[in-house]
Amino acid sequence: MLNSSHIKPQILPDHAVALVPHILMQDVADETALLNLQTEKYFSQNAIATEMLSVLTESDSIAAAYDLLLERYEVTPERLKQDLLSFIEQLLKAELIELQMRT
């Protein structure tokens, strides 16, 4: 039987990103550790990834976060798109974020 946890969600520019409710975040040295208290999945990220997550969760949409990050960093649009999508996929796989449609 196909379990919904095995279905890869489609990431759309209009999606908003939110941390799942049961996340513990802690700064450790130059990194931020995130722990899903329900699944006990752990994720460690550097300062740039921490800023990317902050921008994603504070922006109205992934597209808005992308635009802001493109202004902040010297990176090609295509590279940022690839990195941002890969980062979102990693966070989804670790069950640390959820995608929401804007209202």
* Residue 7 forms part of a structural domain: no
* Residue 21 forms part of a structural domain: yes
Number of domain units in the chain: 1
* Residue 69 forms part of a structural domain: yes
* Selected residue with higher pLDDT from 47 and 102: 47
3-state secondary structure the chain: CCCHHHCCCCCCCCEEEEECCCEEEEEECCEEEEEECCCCCEEEEEHHHHHHHHHHHHCCCHHHHHHHHHHHCCCCHHHHHHHHHHHHHHHHHCCCEEEEECC
- The domain of 42 spans 15-101
Mean pLDDT of the chain: 89
| 66 pLDDT more than 80 | yes
pLDDT tens per residue, range 4-49: 444 556 899 999 999 999 999 998 888 999 999 999 988 999 999 9
* Residue 3 forms part of a structural domain: no
* Residue 19 forms part of a structural domain: yes
pLDDT score of 42: 86
CATH number for position 42? 3.90.930.60
Q: Structure pTM?
A: 0.85
pLDDT score of 29: 85
* Residue 67 forms part of a structural domain: yes
* Residue 6 forms part of a structural domain: no
